[in-house]
Structure 1
Amino acid sequence: MPSMRSIRGSVRSPVRLAALGGALVAFDVVFVAVAYWLGHLTVGAVVTAFDYEITGLLVDALRFETLPSVEALAVGTVLTLVVQSRFGYRQSASALPEVGDVDASGDPSPADAGADAETDSSPDDAPDRDSIEQAIATRDEMERRLEVRATALAHVADMAPPEVRVIGSETPNSFVIGRPGEQLLVATTALLERLDDDQLDAVLAHELAHLKNGDAFVMTAASFLPSVTRRVNERLVEYFRALLPRVESDRDWSDVGYSHHFAMTMLIVGPATLVASTALYVAGGACYRLLSRIREFRADEAAVAISGSPAALAGALETLSGPQPSPSTDLRTARTGVRELCILPHAVGDGGDAERDDVVARARRRCQDLIGRVLPSSHPPVERRVERLRAGERDRRS
């Protein structure tokens, strides 16, 4: 069993944590500046839409004469950090499938299927009810196993045990999210099925290291802005989609009080916001992925200090990095903002336009593919991580 001193030395890294926080603050400053300018542009566009003779605010914004002062940036950045800290955890937690969601195979979850079974009591439904009850029992058993092992490892690492949750997924993966007073460790059913006890302990130790390091909190907060800008981008695309002939839209925009004033405002603000939100999403995603990438090696080292077995973690990484099912089976398990938290970047999907074939959907898929190629990888290569762990195992034996 490793000593407590080695665990603390491997887990804590104040300089590295400060660097993570500094990168987050720097991006927040940029976000506040862009949001401040877009706010002035929107106000100017609204005023102009109602009175064409009052164009001062709009002209000033278009000339970039309404950029924030240092004081406004400071106050806005502090407020943004508070919002991230408070709602980043909630947003990440809400991305997880609840009891009533659809499972990875596309069938109703136990809760939904059970409700259907109660309303239709035909004999043909009996096998479905039996399979639902069995699935619930299996997941409960997995969650108990996960909780016992995570609690034991948390005591070794001298930290409070996190809350645990098992989610149904065909892709083996795990991650943690956290903020002061709330910590959650998530594992998929496939991970618990594929790993033996030693390998599972090593993976759980890796996740606990993220919580102990404090980078789980930083990453959970950092996930907020990329997700927000992505949602803004999606809403704007849906609005402009509705204006195109013969293009399917998910929303009737007449419920927002559509008028020529609104149309004029969107004609001015919409394209600028779309460009800005896309740029912020790419920049935020790059920053977020780099944060994710640089934290993995340290978590691997701390996991070895906690679990005491480099070979077990190396074996777990090799097992988990094997062939995975199509990402489309796990769209709800690890969207953008969660993938970067996972031990491996699997089970990521982006539903939206996946099944559409209109001009907007095709353009979005090309754009997403391009962004995926441009952005840095969110994790170091598994081969490098395994090589370092194997080298550590050889050093321990020599």
Structure 2
Amino acid sequence: MHNRTRIGAVLAVLVAMNVLFVVAILWAYGVLLPGVVAGAIVFARHGTVRFDLLQLPVSWSTVAVLVAGFLGAQLYYGYKRVLAHTQRGREDADHAVAGIVRRLAMTADIPEPGVRVVDAEEPSCYTVGRFTDATIVVTTGLIERLDADELAAVLAHEVAHVGNRDVTLMTVATLFLEIAERAYRSARLARRAIQSPGDVSVRGKVALYWFLPLVALTYVFVAPILWLFPTVADWATRTLSHAREYAADAAAAHITGRPLALATALSSLTESGHHTPERDLRTATMQALSIVPSPLIDSRAVRSVPTPARPPDDRERHDRLRAWLEGETPGVEAGEQRSGATGHTHPPVGERIRRLQQLAADAEREGGTAERRGKR
């Protein structure tokens, strides 16, 4: 399936899941649970029960308004929450990184995104924002770790995300996954209180004390319904993120004309020791906004922007990539083996590198063919 078609299909699934989620919550708490309680009382008194489950407590026009508000809130809150990490970073047009981004944006023919350089040892680069109103965040650790061509390739990858509106898409996708997961976890409060009472929060204990019947009914009747949403949202988020990463890699290779530079940058960043959290879903899903799975960096003002190192020749890059790929354990993706990355939000780094190597090989063949034609 064509990459754009695949992305469009996944987005349609996500929008449908948002609609169904709102409808499911309204139906569960406006029809199902009241019907179960009222039906139990009527049955106890009269021995019969009749109520219509195929209805909603509100009109469809109200549902449409609630769905629109739900999606709008995700866009707004996602932007504000992620951007809050970088408010004190440096954002101006006087340093080398901003100049690189300006040239790349002109080449890609998109509005120039903002640039924030954050003072942090962790090599990380990610994009936040809405639609084309975006900001690329770069750490000083990334600038110091990569050479000039690798840095340009990584920035081109982020510029491609801006041009493809990926920031907005992934903000919505990751937020819906978090909302669905938390809703399902909340619905299972009764079970957690029995199995692991020490893990129940203060808010959960208050809910158990004051609303125990509702908590029990929610676990029995609502939790099985809500189970579907994090499962499908997880698949959709992973599929969308993988597709957009491959597309951004290809676009970066095209913009810079140096696919091997992005490949060696990926191998270098994968070896930097990032680990995907297992329990903090918010942090894990927001890592989809990074070039490789890595934490979003808290705001730390930068005093000076480092100068990128001079790049090596392509032969040295080939050797580095060959050694990196040969270091993979058969059956284990290199990123998982070396950095603990789960691959949830990003495709396997080894596969991304192989695709970039293929792009480089294709470009070399096309260049050789054009050169032979020129000689004729």
User: What is the CA–CA distance in structure 2 between the aligned matches of 1:170 and 1:142, rounded to whole Å?
Assistant: 22
Q: 1:329 to 1:99 in 2, by over 3 A?
A: farther
Structure-2 residue corresponding to 1:21:
8
Q: 1:268 to 1:169 in 2, by over 3 A?
A: farther
Q: 1:28 to 1:280 in 2, by over 3 A?
A: same
Structure-1 residue corresponding to 2:137:
186
Q: Letter of the aligned partner of 1:313 in structure 2?
A: L
Q: 1:45 aligns with which of 33, 53, 71?
A: 33
| CA positional deviation for 1:265 | 1.9
User: What is the CA–CA distance in structure 2 between the aligned matches of 1:196 and 1:86, rounded to whole Å?
Assistant: 40
Q: 1:290 to 1:170 in 2, by over 3 A?
A: farther
Q: 2:110 aligns with which of 144, 159, 162?
A: 159
Once the two structures are superposed, what CA deviation does each residue of 1:347-379 show, in whole Å capped at 9, x if it has no partner? Answer: 49xxxxxxxxxxxxxxxxxxxxxxx99997732
Q: 2:356 aligns with which of 386, 390, 397?
A: 386
Question: Are the aligned partners of 1:345 and 1:378 in contact in 2 as well (CA < 8 Å)?
Answer: yes
Question: Are the aligned partners of 1:202 and 1:304 in contact in 2 as well (CA < 8 Å)?
Answer: yes
| CA positional deviation for 1:279 | 2.6
SS in 2 for 1:184: strand
Matches within 5 A, 1:291-310: 291-310=240-259
Number of paired residues? Answer: 317
Q: 1:200 aligns with which of 130, 136, 151?
A: 151
| CA positional deviation for 1:327 | 4.2
SS in 1 for 2:41: coil
User: What is the CA–CA distance in structure 2 between the aligned matches of 1:374 and 1:282, rounded to whole Å?
Assistant: 17
Q: 1:377 to 1:221 in 2, by over 3 A?
A: closer
Determine if the alignment matches structure 1 residue 335 to structure 2 residue 283: yes
Question: Are the aligned partners of 2:105 and 2:111 in contact in 1 as well (CA < 8 Å)?
Answer: yes
Q: 1:377 to 1:222 in 2, by over 3 A?
A: closer
Q: 1:288 to 1:40 in 2, by over 3 A?
A: same
Q: 2:263 aligns with which of 314, 318, 325?
A: 314
- Percent of aligned pairs with the same residue? 25
CA RMSD in angstroms, aligned pairs only: 4.4
User: What is the CA–CA distance in structure 2 between the aligned matches of 1:34 and 1:202, rounded to whole Å?
Assistant: 39
Structure-2 residue corresponding to 1:277:
226
| CA positional deviation for 1:194 | 1.0
Q: 2:216 aligns with which of 263, 267, 288?
A: 267
Q: 2:198 aligns with which of 230, 239, 247?
A: 247
TM-score normalized by the length of structure 1: 0.63
Question: Are the aligned partners of 1:28 and 1:77 in contact in 2 as well (CA < 8 Å)?
Answer: no
Once the two structures are superposed, what CA deviation does each residue of 1:325-365 show, in whole Å capped at 9, x if it has no partner? Answer: 44459969x723322232223449xxxxxxxxxxxxxxxxx
User: What is the CA–CA distance in structure 2 between the aligned matches of 1:195 and 1:45, rounded to whole Å?
Assistant: 57
Q: Letter of the aligned partner of 1:26 in structure 2?
A: V
User: Which shows bigger deviation, 180-189 or 299-308?
Assistant: 180-189
User: What is the CA–CA distance in structure 2 between the aligned matches of 1:235 and 1:339, rounded to whole Å?
Assistant: 24
User: What is the CA–CA distance in structure 2 between the aligned matches of 1:184 and 1:191, rounded to whole Å?
Assistant: 16
TM-score normalized by the length of structure 2: 0.67
| CA positional deviation for 1:68 | 11
Q: Letter of the aligned partner of 1:378 in structure 2?
A: H
User: Which shows bigger deviation, 314-323 or 33-42?
Assistant: 33-42
Question: Are the aligned partners of 2:131 and 2:165 in contact in 1 as well (CA < 8 Å)?
Answer: no
